[in-house]
A and B are shown apart, each in its own frame.
Chain A
Amino acid sequence: MNEKIKSLYLSYLEKNISKPDEEYLILWLKRNPDYVKEFNEIRRLWSLANTSGKINNILVEKEWNLFSQMVEKEKSAQIRPQNNLMYWLPRMAATFLLGMIISAAIAYAVFNTENSNVVYQEINTPAGAQSKIALPDGSTVWLNAESRLRYSNQFGKKQREIFLTGEAFFEVAKNKEKMFVVQASDLSIKAYGTSFNVKSYPEENTVETTLVEGRIGVKKAGLKKDKSNEIMLEPNQRVVYYKTSANVAAPEKEDIENEMITANSKKENKQPTYMISKGIDPSPFTSWKEGTLLISSETLANLAIKLERKYDVKIQFKNEALKKIKFSGPLQNETVEQAIEAISIAAQIDYEINDRNILFKGIKTNK
């Protein structure tokens, strides 16, 4: 087989092959049928390798969330025909309507050969709500709006592993024997008796970890337990992890005076990409648990996402340019109307509120 065939075949795999080249390859394969099997298996390998990297527990969680939301929507739209299954639907609705509820969602997982049952405890908070949770090991977690915390009945026995989607503040009880590990997106955050904040919403491209007290180690899940793969944080440090290297955008929120390090554990291997800020004030990142939003030079686009979660509203923009306007300042006990009014006055923006829908229209014109 010559180099040209290899090269054409690889461009076929990358879906980057021209029609004539493809015909050429087909003709070649007809003359060399021995290669059909090899190429076919490589093609399968190609798609498996791609797929395998993308599947993990967090993805399945995310898909399940999407799925259960879809079912919920269907129900409220009354499209779903009456049938036997209706009997439990109100229970699901309760998860969404009653604010935080601890659903005894039971998942049986089969590990290895022994059929040991693992039962998961799950805590959900909808938009507009927050909750404070006492964990069996004495640790405390504040769960922000639209977030989910999940841990098994094995929690506290041999390990203290907890799964987070969304944002939470952890105050971890000291226990040297049992490491406290937060799994957020594809990061593992190990705590050694400490308090810290993790923000990992599926729709955002970053996982942000802010350390207030103690010591934590951040590592991409699946990497070896090697010191070089783990980033250790000291108090008042913050690490932003970019989920996909393709979308590594320069972070807008970092203050310039902070020392910034981009940690690339291996130069030739771009993943994982982290941004570490030292000597920061952690309070803007943790104030949500006291119900305060400390906004520090944030774009209206980012602020809108936070307001949507805090107040359970939908915010839309008529004019894209508005998204780039930056804001600073605290938001505490304001109602959503007051908060929006304050933004409107500060930036001279016209807006409309219609029930739970807010539309930012444009810059006010001077009359």
Chain B
Amino acid sequence: MWFSRLYGNNTDKPVTIEEFRGIFQELFPELCLYATKFVGDFDTSKDLVHDVFADFWTNSEKLKNKSLVKPYLYKAVKNRALNYNKREKRKSRLDELFDSQNVIVDFSDNNDIISAISYEDLQADLEEAIGKMPEQRQAIFRMSRFQQMKHKEIAEELNISPKTVETQIYRSLIFLRSKLSHYLNDR
């Protein structure tokens, strides 16, 4: 079964479709989260992870002696994301400044895998933290992040000044950062 393959079990058999499907469904979300570290936006991350799976699919025969699918996929996502950044040259100088500060977890051995972010945990923790904020701030944050509304649109919608919107978003971010710090450090 794919589970044993995922967490280390040397077998010579090629990956079957059932195994592949299991791997895909389990790892797709967390690989996307990992990819956003490099490329920032979700849609690009999703495409990159998709490509990695496609490659893995065509080359999985090569992988039959590699016992660990997960580190392999993490590494592949990282390489692809870095290549993407190089190729696209889409990073601004500020992006580069921030990136240079980041320690990237390499997932080169099994232990690091445990530190991968589960999106279910992230969603639950984020939702809990948002719920602790004052109501208007919650609403503004949700509009800004989940509905991708610009400051001006939020201000118009709620009939408040854009300055207030900015202040509220900034306060949300400071608050959420304190609550979710374990997702943000060294990752």
Contacts and interface: CB of A to CB of B under 8 A. Distances in A.
B is bound to A: yes
Interface stretch (A38-46, A123-131, A156-164, A292-300): A38-46
B173 A67 contact: no
A22 B136 contact: no
Contacts of B187: 44
A269 B141 CA distance: 10
Chain B: interface secondary structure?
helix
A72 to B, nearest CB: 11
Interface string A50-75: 11111100001001101100110000
A83 B33 contact: no
Interface in A10-24: 10, 12, 14, 16, 22-23
Given A84-B14, A246-B148, A41 B50 contact: no
A24 B24 CA distance: 43
A44 B37 contact: yes
B136 A268 contact: yes
B181 A80 contact: no
Interface in B39-95: 40-42, 45-46, 50, 53-54, 57-58, 60-61, 92-94
Nearest to B92: A22
B166 A6 contact: yes
A2 interface: no
A interface, size bucket: 35 or more
A88 B142 contact: no
A22 B93 CA distance: 8
A363 interface: no
A297 to B, nearest CB: 31
B108 to A, nearest CB: 22
B28 A51 contact: no
B40 A47 contact: yes
B182 to A, nearest CB: 11
Interface-central residue, A16, A26, A70, A268, by most chain B CB under 10 Å? A268
A85 B147 contact: no
Interface string B154-182: 00011000010011011001101100110
A40 B29 CA distance: 23
Given A45-B184, A60-B29, A84-B61, A271 B17 contact: no
A67 B51 CA distance: 9
B2 interface: yes
B148 A10 contact: no
B184 to A, nearest CB: 4
Nearest to B24: A64
A36 interface: yes
Contacts of B9: none
B33 A48 contact: yes
Contact of A10 (B97, B138, B166, B183): B166
Contact of A67 (B3, B50, B163, B177): B50
Interface string B1-42: 111000000000011111001101110110011001100111
B177 A29 contact: no
B185 interface: yes
Interface string A242-282: 00011000000000000000000010111100000000000
A77 interface: no
A21 B157 CA distance: 27
Closest 6 CB pairs of A and B: A41-B184, A268-B139, A51-B42, A49-B145, A53-B146, A40-B98
Interface of B: 1-3, 14-18, 21-22, 24-26, 28-29, 32-33, 36-37, 40-42, 45-46, 50, 53-54, 57-58, 60-61, 92-94, 97-98, 101-102, 117, 119, 122-123, 126-127, 135-136, 138-139, 142-143, 145-148, 150-151, 157-158, 163, 166-167, 169-170, 173-174, 176-177, 180-181, 183-185, 187
Given A39-B98, A45-B177, 9 more contacts: A37-B101, A46-B173, A50-B41, A51-B119, A63-B46, A64-B28, A67-B57, A80-B58, A269-B143
